[in-house]
Amino acid sequence: VTHYLKDYQPSNYQIDSIELTFDLDPLATRVTNVMQMTFSPNASDDRRLVLNGQKITLLECWINGNLLSAEDYDLDDEFLTLSPSLDAFELKIVTQCAPQNNTSLEGLYRTSGNYCTQCEALGFQTITYYLDRPDVLSFFTTKIIADKSQNAVLLSNGNLVEASDLPDGKHYAVWHDPFKKPCYLFALVAGNLSLIQDTYQTMDGRLVDLRIYVEPQNIDKCDHAMASLKKSMQWDEERYGLVYDLDIYMIVAVDDFNMGAMENKGLNVFNSKFVLAKPETATDVDYEGIESVIAHEYFHNWTGNRVTCRDWFQLTLKEGLTVFRDQEFTGDMLSIPVKRIEDVKRLRSNQFPEDAGPMAHPIQPQSYIEMNNFYTMTVYEKGAEVVRLYQTLLGRDGFRKGMDLYFQRHDGQAVTVEDFRNAMADANHVDLSQMQAWYVQEGTPVVTAKTHYDAKLQTLTLSLEQTLKGKVPQQPLMIPVLIGFMGYDGQPLTLMPSVQDKNSLEERGDSWLLKLTEPKQDFIFEQVATYPVISYLRDFSAPIILKTPNALPELEVLAQYDSNAFVRWESMQALALASMEQGVSAYQQQQPLTLLPSFAAAFASVLADSSLDLSLKALALTLPEMTYVADQYTEIPLEAIQAVHQFTQQALAEKFSQALLQTYESLQVNEPYRYEKQAIAQRKLKNVCLKYLAKLPQNLAIAVNQFEQKSNMTDVLSALEVLSHHQTADSAKCLQAFYQDWSKDSLVLDKWFSIQAAAQVPDILAQINQLLQHPDFKYTNPNRVRSVLGVFGRLNWVGFHQASGTGYQLLAEQVIKLNGINPQIASRLVAPLSHWKRYDSGRRLLMRQALESILATENLSKDVYEIVSRSLA
């Protein structure tokens, strides 16, 4: 069945309160659900009460104390339908389920011998019968009964109101959540967990009890998560005036989790990957991931929980907004331009392809088969870009006014993206109706810029034209394009716009914000003495592809002099891309490969620039990924890109070996690990240098040495990564040593699997098969599956796309296998196959066959079916 946004109807029944009792047992958990319900017809006078429920056994059903018999209701695989005649009544439902057998990791399941839940989006209906929709808000009270020796800790949402021992070695706890919430925010955790505790004093003077629960062996890896939580709480107070609202905030880390984490009210459940860290086990990327995911889930308490979504088509209301908030937080904690560049890289390498492929959907999808398939880069990351557009247009203060009004109007409600937009508009007394098009039109907009300079009139005309999927968009988008000017000597220039353009642009510091609202629009600048260099799309002011008329000379000026860090980086990328594109042509004409001189020159000047922030330097010296190069072509010249990418790295390594080595050595510090901006930047640049250096065989010893130092996981892993592409005795020895050191630490062991799955080695298929057969490989653990199969499909571009098609076959077989174990994980693995139409005819056929073999499988889950059938359509 396909669900449509246009079919939305409010519920005729409300659930005023719910009392849940869980009698936990691995194979026979009994759930008693007592709901106080009212009939309050909204759309129609239909009295049927249709409750969602799946994969559970109905034991009893009572209305106002009367036991119903089978004639009193309809029951099928998905619904329990009743016809109550009263306007207010108590409905009691008793069901049974088997968490031990639940490998889908949705609903109530077991992980490392503990119980936990994941209800978003529609998992609550696998726990009990309910109106499983986010616009039904209720007060939850949860009683948990369990064996005490196995489950010392019993947790649910809200505040603990009662706990005591019971006969037969059991005990219980009762939790009450004073805030109304939709059932997707429900959580339960039980097991033998250790905790660290801290407190946070809110700006209104309340003391909040902060707790992080982990498996006992991980208790030494919680400090960074706790520090991140406290920073998040403080930041949300300072930036948005948002204060935490319960007396306790709990985070539980579990090893088996489908996604990153979940914002359940007062009781977040996290993939342990986003909690556990110490310098020996976690990289800088891990530390940053933890800080930002902790923040993300914490920020959801207001953007998601206090104000929630009316229906699942509004997912970006909470996710786009909360990602935007966590991006801003990370920028403030570390570096605003570095964070912006990293986010743009991620958007381009993951969201742009999604928006150009068969799964393209607007940030507000209009339909779905399986909601879990729409927790996408588009809903999250493009959604965050669209939220950012409001801040770009309204300024930070205007955006804050809109947020204030949003909470003032909608606290305690389940609302829509229109409600958010209206709050932004009304708080600032502006018309934002044109922003609607961003929510309903899919695809990455392309804006083409053209300039015309009239030397006689001294005017510069900048024409911007927008297209969507090659056409004039149905409704033109509102696209803010931030630009700046400079001379060819790099000196800033101040140009004045002509008066008639006053409404369509705004001055922003040393930049102009152009507001493109028409399919095509001209912006005229006057008294322009000489033709300037134009810095386009500063700060990546809109999630678009901008085609500029800038050629190599302009890119060189921008790369060296622009005041905007994003455009400096972008110009380096453009030069690298130009170099590789001419390489691809040369390769295709069987000409020798060369570096583009202007790229080599820019690379040299970045490397030598001692005033440049080290993180920005590291980013500027990193080549665009092969997949980003591939995105520039309609039919991907895979072999050519691979050869040119190799060549470019090699040629840079040879040409700049002295400077790279010098930089590498100057960054060798003998200090204990600190998660701090400057130290992170040093490690980042050092490891970028190492990557180039290791292209020369004589330098492999440097990597071995760095590996053996064991200073911190960032350096160890970077060294191991460069070694993994070489099948030498040293490389094998290091991999073996790493395994010896870390085989008992599942998160570190994931890294060992990932590195090998990503290795650029000739017999990669044999290597993947070996990893799949390794005793430590587990199909039931999503992190482990992702570390081999996710990495192989997404990051080992060359290995996965071997011309023989064996990579495709392997992935298809594994998807079929996982379909029966964990459909959400299976469906995520399909993505690399879905872009089959972009490849050459040989690969196209093989990829399609792999997809067809999945589609032909019996008992295909909705999750996998939706992705595969859309890919083949």
Q: Interface with ligand ARG by CB under 6 A: which residues?
A: 118, 120-121, 258-263, 296-297, 319, 372, 375, 824
Q: Which is nearer to Zn ion, 261 or 338 (CB)?
A: 261
Taking the C-alpha atoms of residue 25 and residue 394, their distance in angstroms, rounded to an integer, is 54
Q: Which is nearer to ligand ARG, 358 or 823 (CB)?
A: 823
Phi–psi pair at 513, nearest 5 degrees: -100, 110
Residue-by-residue DSSP string for 503-553:
GGEEEETTEEEEEE-SSEEEEEEES--SPPEEE-SGGG-SSSEEE----HH
The answer to whether 498 and 437 are in contact (CB under 8 A) is no
Measuring CA to CA, which residue among 359, 398, 346, 364 is closest to residue 543? 346
Q: Which is nearer to ligand ARG, 301 or 731 (CB)?
A: 301
As measured in angstroms, the least distance from the Cβ of 267 to ligand ARG is 13
Q: Which is nearer to ligand ARG, 96 or 780 (CB)?
A: 780
258 binds, among Zn ion, ligand ARG, none (CB under 5 to 8 A by kind): ligand ARG
Site string for Zn ion, 305-344 (x = CB under 5 A): --------------x--x----------------------
The answer to whether 151 and 115 are in contact (CB under 8 A) is yes
Helix (H) or strand (E) holding 34: strand 29-39
Is residue 624 classed as helix, strand or coil in its secondary structure? coil
As measured in angstroms, the least distance from the Cβ of 140 to ligand ARG is 18
As measured in angstroms, the least distance from the Cβ of 269 to Zn ion is 13
As measured in angstroms, the least distance from the Cβ of 253 to ligand ARG is 14
The secondary structure of the chain in percent helix, strand, coil, rounded to multiples of 5, reads 45, 20, 30
Q: Which is nearer to ligand ARG, 212 or 652 (CB)?
A: 212
- The interface with Zn ion within residues 795-814 (CB under 5 A) comprises none
As measured in angstroms, the least distance from the Cβ of 235 to Zn ion is 17
Amino acid letter, residue 602:
A
- The interface with Zn ion within residues 375-434 (CB under 5 A) comprises none
Q: What radius of gyration do the chain's Cα atoms show?
A: 28
Q: Which is nearer to ligand ARG, 373 or 699 (CB)?
A: 373
Residues 6 or more apart in contact with residue 187 via CB below 8 angstroms: 116, 117, 119, 155, 156, 157, 262, 264, 265, 267, 268, 269
The answer to whether 393 and 480 are in contact (CB under 8 A) is yes
- How far is CA 383 from each of CA 97, 342, 445, 480, 740, rounded to the nearest angstrom? 36, 16, 14, 16, 43
Taking the C-alpha atoms of residue 606 and residue 586, their distance in angstroms, rounded to an integer, is 26
Residues 6 or more apart in contact with residue 741 via CB below 8 angstroms: 748
- How far is CA 609 from each of CA 292, 324, 693, 831, rounded to the nearest angstrom? 31, 32, 19, 40
**Is the preceding peptide bond at 225 cis, omega within 30 degrees of 0?**
no
Taking the C-alpha atoms of residue 268 and residue 249, their distance in angstroms, rounded to an integer, is 8
Q: Which is nearer to Zn ion, 375 or 792 (CB)?
A: 375
As measured in angstroms, the least distance from the Cβ of 372 to ligand ARG is 4
259 binds, among ligand ARG, Zn ion, none (CB under 5 to 8 A by kind): ligand ARG
Using left for φ > 0, alpha for ψ between -120 and 50, and beta otherwise, residue 859 falls in left
422 binds, among ligand ARG, Zn ion, none (CB under 5 to 8 A by kind): none
**From the candidates 120, 215, 288, 297, which is the catalytic residue?**
297
Q: Which is nearer to ligand ARG, 375 or 628 (CB)?
A: 375
As measured in angstroms, the least distance from the Cβ of 374 to ligand ARG is 8
The footprint of Zn ion on this chain (CB under 5 A) covers a number of residues equal to 2
314 binds, among ligand ARG, Zn ion, none (CB under 5 to 8 A by kind): none
- Catalytic, 60? Answer no
Listed in sequence order, the DSSP H helices in 272-373 are: 284-299, 315-333, 336-346, 352-356
Buried b (16+ CB within 10 A) or exposed e, 824-848: bbbbbbbbbbbbbebbeeebeebbb
Phi–psi pair at 712, nearest 5 degrees: -165, 165
138 binds, among ligand ARG, Zn ion, none (CB under 5 to 8 A by kind): none
As measured in angstroms, the least distance from the Cβ of 318 to Zn ion is 7
As measured in angstroms, the least distance from the Cβ of 262 to ligand ARG is 5
Angle subtended by helix axes 565-588 and 552-561, to nearest 10: 140
Measuring CA to CA, which residue among 808, 807, 809, 753 is closest to residue 779? 753
Taking the C-alpha atoms of residue 353 and residue 360, their distance in angstroms, rounded to an integer, is 9
As measured in angstroms, the least distance from the Cβ of 322 to Zn ion is 5
375 binds, among ligand ARG, Zn ion, none (CB under 5 to 8 A by kind): ligand ARG
Taking the C-alpha atoms of residue 187 and residue 185, their distance in angstroms, rounded to an integer, is 7
335 binds, among Zn ion, ligand ARG, none (CB under 5 to 8 A by kind): none
The answer to whether 594 and 655 are in contact (CB under 8 A) is no
19 binds, among Zn ion, ligand ARG, none (CB under 5 to 8 A by kind): none
Amino acid letter, residue 320:
G
As measured in angstroms, the least distance from the Cβ of 547 to Zn ion is 33
Site string for Zn ion, 427-466 (x = CB under 5 A): ----------------------------------------
Residues 6 or more apart in contact with residue 773 via CB below 8 angstroms: none
444 binds, among ligand ARG, Zn ion, none (CB under 5 to 8 A by kind): none
177 binds, among ligand ARG, Zn ion, none (CB under 5 to 8 A by kind): none
Looking up tokens 């770009």 gives 392
262 binds, among Zn ion, ligand ARG, none (CB under 5 to 8 A by kind): ligand ARG
Q: Which is nearer to ligand ARG, 84 or 260 (CB)?
A: 260
How many other CB atoms are found less than 10 A from the CB of residue 462? 23
Taking the C-alpha atoms of residue 684 and residue 616, their distance in angstroms, rounded to an integer, is 10
Q: Which is nearer to Zn ion, 322 or 351 (CB)?
A: 322
Q: Which is nearer to ligand ARG, 293 or 850 (CB)?
A: 293
- How far is CA 150 from each of CA 24, 26, 49, 115, 174, rounded to the nearest angstrom? 11, 11, 38, 10, 18
Taking the C-alpha atoms of residue 361 and residue 433, their distance in angstroms, rounded to an integer, is 20
Q: Which is nearer to Zn ion, 384 or 768 (CB)?
A: 384
261 binds, among ligand ARG, Zn ion, none (CB under 5 to 8 A by kind): ligand ARG
The answer to whether 252 and 116 are in contact (CB under 8 A) is yes
As measured in angstroms, the least distance from the Cβ of 88 to ligand ARG is 33
User: Active-site residues: which are they?
Assistant: 297
Contacts to Zn ion by CB under 5 A: 319, 322
